[in-house]
Structure 1
Amino acid sequence: MTTSNLAVRRAHRAYVTFGIVLPLLVGLVGVGLMLLWLPEMPETIAIHWDASGADGFGPAWSTPVILAATVALIVVLLAACALPGWRAGEWGPTQRFVGALGPAIVVFLTVGITWSFGTQRGLTDPTAAPSILLPFAVGALTGAVVGVIAWFAQPAVTLSGGSPAGHSPADITLGQGEQAVWLRTTTMSTPGLVFIVLATLLMAGLAVVFVLSDSAVAWVIVLLAVLLLVLTVTMCVFRVRVDAGGLRVASLLGIPRFRVPLADIASVSVIEVSPMSQFGGWGIRLSLDGRFGVVMHRGEAIEVTRHRGRTFVVTVDDAETGAGLLDALAERAERTA
C-alpha cells in the first residue's frame, strides 16, 4: 500500500470518526439526558422564544424526538455529500469540511436544546421558561471549537481518483495575424440538474403553502422560489469561447458571464475536476482552495491562472484544444506587447 493510499485511509477513518460517530454520540448524550429528565418535566414546555420570552409550546416528549431526528438527518445529509467522492476514489477539502461541519452543527444544537430543556425541570407555568440566549450562545461557541478541532484532526488529503492533477494543453502554433476561435457548450450533469430541480420544486411547494396560510413571511419564500427558478434557467448551460479577446464563459441568457482577457493570463492548464470533492457541488463555485469557476460536470476543465494568482476553472469537453488555443493566443499577445 502506497503512502498516498495510507493517507486516504486515514482521511476516511477521520471523517467517519468526526463526521459520523462523534455527532451521533453527542446527539445520543443529549437525547439520553432529556429522557432522564422527562419525569421531572411538565406535560407542556416552551419550545419557541421571541424577544419577549417563550411564545410557543409543545409536549415535553417531542423535544428529544425532534433532536434525535434532526441529528440523524444532519449526519445522513452531510454523509450524502461526502460518500459519492469516496466511492469514486476521490477525496478533498470539501469532504474534510463536511467532516468538521457535522459535529459543529450537532454540538451547537444539542447543547442549546438540551440546556434549555433542562432549565424547565419542575416548572408549572411554561411561560416562565428562562431565556435560551445563554444556552445557545454557549452551544455556538462550543460547536465552533469542536468544528475547528475536527478540521485539523483530519488529514489534508486531495485525491482525484487517479486522474492527473493537471497537464499542459495541446501544442498549437499561431502565425502572426492568424485568427482562430474555439467554441463549446457545457451542460450541467444529471446529478446537478436533479438537485437544482428538486430544490426548486421544494421551494415552490413551500411558497404555495405559505401563501395559502397567509403567513407573514410568504413573500420571502415566494422571492426565494423565483430566485431558484431563475438560477435553474440561467445556470444549467454555458457557452465557452476562446478567441483574441481571451476566455469568455456566459450562460444562454448572457447573464452571468465571465471573461479572462489575454493580458491577464499567467498560465493555462488542463485539469480533471470532481465537482463534489473539489468544489462542493455544481454551478458557479468557489472552492476551499480559492479557485473560482463554472463547474457543470465531472471531467476535464480549462484552468487559467491570472497574473495576480487568482484561478478560474470551467469544465468543458475538448478542454485540451481550448486550453491549447488560449495558451497560444496569450503567448502571442505577450510577445506582441
Structure 2
Amino acid sequence: MNDCTKRTNGARWGAAIWAAGVLAALAALPPAASSRLPDRLATHWGGSSPDGSMPLWAASLFPALIWAVLALSVAFAGRRGGAAARPWAGVTLLSGGVFLAGVQASIVRANLDRAEWSDASSVGTGVTVTVVAATAAGVLGWLAGRRGGAPTSGEETGGATRMEIPEGERFVWLSRAANPWLHLTAALTGLVAAAAALAAAGGLIGLQWALIAPFAIASTLVLFCSSVQARVTEKGLDVAFGPFGWPVRHWAAQDIKSARAESRTPAQVGGWGYRLSGLGTTVMLRAGECLVIHPRKGTEFAVSVDDAERGAALLNSFSTRQAS
C-alpha cells in the first residue's frame, strides 16, 4: 500500500470516527441529562423566549438523523467527486458537526432544571459562540482538504547523487507521507476532549480542564506529527507538518552539505512521529526510505517520504550550485 492510499484511508477513518462521535453526542446528550430536564424540551425560540418544543426522545433523535443524512451525503459525494470534493467534505463535516453539537448543548443547557419547557432560558449566547466555532472549523476543514491531494514529484531521472539541471530549466521535487494510525490516535484523543467540552457546555459537568487540556494537547501534537510534506526547490528544503502545512522547517540550499536516501526503522530512531536520537532528528511516519540531509551546522535531519533518492539528488545539485 503506497503513502497516497494510506493517507486516504487514514483520512476516511478519521472522518468516520468524527461522524460517529458527533452522532453519539447528539443522541446521548439529552438522555444523559434527563433527570434534570422537563418532559418536553424547548427547541425553538422567538427572540429570547421559547415558542416550540419536542419530547425528549425527539429532541435527541431529530438532530442525530439530520447529522446521519448529512454525513452519508458527504461520504457519497466524496466517493463520486474524488480529490476535488475533499475540501468541501472537510468544510461540511467539521462545520456541520460543530454547529449541530453546539446547538444541542445550548438547548440542553437552556432547559436544565426547568419545570416546564416554556421556562427555558435564552440560547442566544450559546448559538453565537457555536456559529463562530463552526465557521472556524469549516476554514480548518477547507485548508486540510486543499492539502490532501496525491503526492507529486519532479522530472523522471535516475538515482544519481546529483541531478543534471539544463540551463534555463527549473526543477521542483515534492513528496508527502502520512501515518493513518497517528491520524486515528489524534481523532480519538480529540473526541475525548470534545466530549468533555460538550458536556460542560450542556451544563452536565463543570469545565474539567484537567481532563480536556491533556487530551486536546495530545490530539494537536499527534495530528501535527501524523503527516508531512517535503519540498525541494532551488532555495533549499522545506518540510511542512500536519494537515495545514504548518509549522515549516526550512534549510537554505547553501546551508546543506549533502543529502542522501537512507532506510530507517522506528526501532532505530526511538518510535513514531518527531524523534530525537543518536541519528539526529527523524520524522518517522513509516519504516523504509528517508530523505536525510547533513547540514553544515547542526545534526542530521531525516524525513520518511517516498522518492527520497531523487529528492536528495536534486537537493545536492542545488547545494553545489549555491556553494560555488
TM range (shorter): 0.3 to 0.5
Question: What is the TM-score normalised by the length of structure 2?
Answer: 0.44
TM-score scaled to structure 1, two decimals? 0.42
